[in-house]
Structure 1
Amino acid sequence: MTSWAGRTAADIAAAVREKRVTPREVVAEHLARIERLDTRVGAFRKVRADAALAEADEVAARPDLAELPLAGVPLAVKDNLPVRGEATRNGTAATADTPAVHDHVTVARLRAAGAVVVGVTNVPELCVFGTTDGVHGIARNPWDTSRTAGGSSGGSAAAVAAGLVPLALGNDGMGSLRIPAAHCGLVGLKPGYGVVPAGIGHGDWFGMSENGPLATTVEDARLMFSVLAGTAGAPGTDNDAARPSGGAGRSIALSLRSPLVGVRVTRPYTTAAREAAGLLAGAGHRVRRADPPYPWWLGTTSLAHWTAGTAVDAEDLDPRRLTRRTRVHAAVGRRFARSVRGGDRRAELRRRLEPFLAEHDVLLTPALARRGPAAADWHERGWLRNLLVNTGCSPMTPPWNLTGWPAMSVPFGTSVSGAPCAVQLVGRPGSEPVLLDVAGQLETLRPWRRTAPLD
């Protein structure tokens, strides 16, 4: 008997289109795996078992089944995006347990492409922090369950890395998709501004937050991205977002420096970036060491936008039902909100960095500075302690939310605990196909194990 849990989304969709398996069979097998393993991982806040099976039957009955790029593919959705019929809790007790009437546009696009939503995933409160824990549970890294899955798309990343679903929808406001992807050994793509519909919280954290895919292969990430961007055609057709951009000979800058003053990148992550650069050089790319001209004020600007975004999202919530670290984060952000709205730091950052990415096609960096913190109740600890732990682990991601340029995490190597390590690829606006192409070359040159050995 063929096992479908752990297979790629591309494999599953092809088999469903060719009627070698039914959507119900695929979904039922993944639901059984969730029931067996998620108590150890904590990926899901809500599993939609009955609803997902009914949706699978609806997909099977569609007259356009043979044209669906994600036919019958089980999907997990981050719990800050509305899913029709489910409450959007955003990781907090302060939100209402009221079912959403409509899908978020990205969820609607994935469902229209044939995907089946099997559940909504755990997030930290208001999707603020780089560890996923709170009133709805702790999401653990399936490769090392003593460690966090990262955040804020931690539940989504844990679900994919554990083989509970082949694809998950996450989003990224300061690294919230790339950070858990890096911890959990996944491909995670933050598109550039405006490429995929956002509509996250109250104003997308001043336009910094983007929705994107979490997958175990570059092919699956490319496929899901094309659906999210609205460029996916029928299977076998060509389109700009899904097509590899082709060719070696790109100019790639390798930078090992932390963008944030005072944060050190540890050896496993610098080693991964160096080795990835070596492989790409051997494949014919022009690779050289070069650091972007990060300004000294990048850290304070990142903090101002991070906290101010939370202050806006918390405006209509009862502060008594928020955890202390979130209340403090929002209070700090209220002091910054006016300067963030009226400031020009993001435009200045783009002006400083544009010449660098005009000279280089891709920037290659470590994805993280160190392995993930322990899987623990970080929401019960102080704000400053959370701030220092988050910043010390993931200083590499915020600049690219501030600029609005595409960036992605790609598995590469292992950390000291044996969990996956990762590198980050960054490009100029519109370069998502280029980043996916370079990531695909890394996957070919140094394949990674796709799912954690939990069975």
Structure 2
Amino acid sequence: MTKWAGRTATEIADAVRRKVVTPREVVADHLARIAAEDGRIGAFRVVRAAAALEEAEAVGARADLSRLPLAGVPVAVKDNLPVRGETTRHGSAATPAAPADDDHVTVARLRAAGAVVVGLTHVPELCVFGTTDGVHGISRNPWDPARTAGGSSGGSAAAVAAGLVPIALGNDGMGSLRIPAAHCGLIGLKPGTGRVPVDLGGAWFGMSENGPLATTSADARLMFSVLAGDHSTGGVVDEAAPATEPAESDADSGSGKSRVGRTSPAHQPHPLKIAFSTRSPIAGVRVSGPYAALARQAARTLAEAGHHVATAHPPYPLSFGAVILARWTGGTAQDAEGLDPRLLMARTRRHAAVGRFAGRLGMLRTDHQAALNERLEPFFAEYDVLLTPALARRGPAADPWHQRGWLANVLVNTACSPMTPPWNLSGLPALAMPFGSLPTGLPGSVQLVGRSGSEHQLLDVVAQLEELRPWRRTAPATPAHRPD
């Protein structure tokens, strides 16, 4: 029997369109994988088993099935994006428990493309921190369940890395897609401003963007294209092509390496000018040796592939740390308005209080983005892409960090992930992608940043590195539930 859990979104959609498998069969197989594995991972707050099977049946009956980019693909949604008929809890006991009347626009786009929402994933309260833990549970890294999956899209990342779903929807306000992607060995793309609908309330003063988590460049490109409403890259196959079984995946072959989403001539990047930097944007925070070494290896790989790579550091302002702390806390203060503070965790209350104080000091000015981009403009006029480490050090333990003090949370988050916030403030596209392995055996990761509108160019670079340095897409399942 063909197993579908653990395969890529492009494989699944292709097979469904060709009627090799039905959406219901695909979703049922993933629900079985979730039931078997999520107890040790903690990816989902809600699993929509019955509703997902009904929706899969409806997708299978659609007249346009053969043209759906995500036909029958199971998808997980971060629990701060409304899903019709489900509660949206934002990781908190203080949020309303009424079900959503409508899908968020990004969820609606995924469903219109044929995807089936199988569940809502864990987040830290109000999506504040880089560890996913709280009143609804703890999300763990499938490669090492003793470590955090990251945050705030930690549940979504854990679900994809464990093979519970092939793709997941999250968002990124200071690295909330890229941080868990880096911990869990995934591609996490933060689109540039205006590329994907946001509609997240205050959206942390415009820093938050919705985007995909995926295991291959092809899946990331496909999902981003759907979210951005870009139908020209929907990836739909020729209806006249013969129906066949999907190509062997890493889950079946046992090779442990990515065997799909390879670089095609259409996506082969021409030689680019790439800047390489391991300098932290936040004064006093340094990148540890293993993460810097992986970024250097990626730089050498790209240089050997014909790109022009040079060490060059973006002109981060000395005040960046204070600016980003003000927006981080100020965004939380906005999100906490109208919620019962007695039901919020202590670390969240303190974070919001600091944000209100920052506002009173005038630290939430609207000109910070323009000032940063003015500094960055000459840099990105010279370089097409910036390559950096995605993280500065390995993630903390998968502990109940919500029970610890506010300062402990801020310090551990800042020490681990200083490299991601500048690109939220600037609005430029950025992604984390797997590269190599750490001394601990966990997946390594690097970050790519590009000019406005360069998401597909960044994914071209990912596809090239995927070809040159393939990675294992998902963490091993428990033996009883590994694909045949």
TM tier, smaller: over 0.9
Distance (whole Å) between structure 2 residues aligned to residue 192 and residue 117 of structure 1: 25
Distance (whole Å) between structure 2 residues aligned to residue 336 and residue 245 of structure 1: 45
- Shift of residue 439 of structure 1? 0.8
Q: Which residue of 1 aligns with 2:399?
A: 376
Distance (whole Å) between structure 2 residues aligned to residue 432 and residue 259 of structure 1: 22
> Are residue 434 (structure 1) and residue 433 (structure 2) matched?
no
> Are residue 88 (structure 1) and residue 88 (structure 2) matched?
yes
- List runs of 5+ in structure 1 lacking aligned partners: none
Matches within 5 A, 1:57-68: 57-68=57-68
Which residue identity is paired with 1:20? V
Alpha-carbon contact 2:217-2:459 (below 8 Å) kept: yes
Match of 2:340 among 318, 339, 343: 318
Q: Which residue of 2 aligns with 1:100?
A: 100
Distance (whole Å) between structure 2 residues aligned to residue 444 and residue 197 of structure 1: 31
Distance (whole Å) between structure 2 residues aligned to residue 97 and residue 171 of structure 1: 21
Query: 3-state DSSP class of the match of 1:342?
Result: coil
Alpha-carbon contact 2:268-2:464 (below 8 Å) kept: no
Q: Which residue of 2 aligns with 1:183?
A: 183
- Shift of residue 236 of structure 1? 4.1
Q: Which residue of 2 aligns with 1:277?
A: 299
- Shift of residue 268 of structure 1? 1.4
Matches within 5 A, 1:26-65: 26-65=26-65
The runs of at least 4 aligned residues of structure 1 exceeding 4 Å deviation read: 242-245
> Are residue 124 (structure 1) and residue 116 (structure 2) matched?
no
Q: Which residue of 2 aligns with 1:259?
A: 281
Match of 1:385 among 383, 405, 408: 408
Alpha-carbon contact 2:195-2:228 (below 8 Å) kept: yes
Alpha-carbon contact 2:268-2:460 (below 8 Å) kept: yes
Distance (whole Å) between structure 1 residues aligned to residue 28 and residue 147 of structure 2: 29
Matches within 5 A, 1:139-158: 139-158=139-158
Q: Map Cα deviations across residues 241-277 of structure 1 (whole Å, 9 max, x no partner).
A: x995543310000001111111111111111110111
Distance (whole Å) between structure 2 residues aligned to residue 252 and residue 236 of structure 1: 33
Distance 1:70 1:429, change over 3 A: same
> Are residue 247 (structure 1) and residue 269 (structure 2) matched?
yes
- Shift of residue 337 of structure 1? 2.9
Alpha-carbon contact 1:43-1:156 (below 8 Å) kept: yes
Q: Which residue of 2 aligns with 1:217?
A: 216
Q: Map Cα deviations across residues 5-39 of structure 1 (whole Å, 9 max, x no partner).
A: 10000000000000000000000000000000000
Q: Which residue of 2 aligns with 1:203?
A: 202
Q: Map Cα deviations across residues 76-98 of structure 1 (whole Å, 9 max, x no partner).
A: 00000000010000000001111
Distance (whole Å) between structure 1 residues aligned to residue 202 and residue 37 of structure 2: 36
Distance (whole Å) between structure 1 residues aligned to residue 284 and residue 88 of structure 2: 37
Aligned pair count reads 450
Which residue identity is paired with 1:315? E
> Are residue 20 (structure 1) and residue 20 (structure 2) matched?
yes
Which residue identity is paired with 2:326? A
Match of 1:350 among 363, 373, 381: 373
Q: Percent identity at matched positions? A: 70
Query: 3-state DSSP class of the match of 2:101?
Result: coil
Distance 1:422 1:26, change over 3 A: same
Alpha-carbon contact 1:244-1:437 (below 8 Å) kept: no
Alpha-carbon contact 1:42-1:122 (below 8 Å) kept: yes
Alpha-carbon contact 1:142-1:158 (below 8 Å) kept: yes
Distance 1:64 1:343, change over 3 A: closer
Distance (whole Å) between structure 2 residues aligned to residue 407 and residue 243 of structure 1: 23
Distance 1:410 1:11, change over 3 A: same
Distance (whole Å) between structure 2 residues aligned to residue 329 and residue 243 of structure 1: 48
Q: Which residue of 1 aligns with 2:250?
A: none
Which residue identity is paired with 1:255? S
Alpha-carbon contact 1:244-1:436 (below 8 Å) kept: no
Q: Which residue of 1 aligns with 2:322?
A: 300
- List runs of 5+ in structure 2 lacking aligned partners: 239-263, 479-484
- Shift of residue 232 of structure 1? 2.3
- Shift of residue 224 of structure 1? 0.1
Which TM-score applies when normalising by structure 2? 0.91
Which TM-score applies when normalising by structure 1? 0.97
Distance (whole Å) between structure 2 residues aligned to residue 66 and residue 107 of structure 1: 21
Distance 1:105 1:340, change over 3 A: farther
Q: Which residue of 1 aligns with 2:76?
A: 76
Match of 1:406 among 429, 432, 440: 429
Alpha-carbon contact 1:308-1:340 (below 8 Å) kept: no
Which residue identity is paired with 1:88? T
- Shift of residue 341 of structure 1? 4.6
Query: 3-state DSSP class of the match of 2:38?
Result: helix
Moved more, 416-425 or 28-37: 416-425
Distance 1:340 1:245, change over 3 A: farther
> Are residue 287 (structure 1) and residue 309 (structure 2) matched?
yes
Distance (whole Å) between structure 2 residues aligned to residue 245 and residue 216 of structure 1: 17
Which residue identity is paired with 1:326? T
Q: Which residue of 2 aligns with 1:417?
A: 440
Q: Map Cα deviations across residues 375-433 of structure 1 (whole Å, 9 max, x no partner).
A: 00000000000000000000000000000000000101112321111000001101111
Distance (whole Å) between structure 2 residues aligned to residue 18 and residue 236 of structure 1: 9
Alpha-carbon contact 2:326-2:364 (below 8 Å) kept: no
Distance (whole Å) between structure 2 residues aligned to residue 343 and residue 48 of structure 1: 40
Distance (whole Å) between structure 2 residues aligned to residue 357 and residue 164 of structure 1: 38
Distance 1:301 1:341, change over 3 A: closer
Which residue identity is paired with 1:365? T
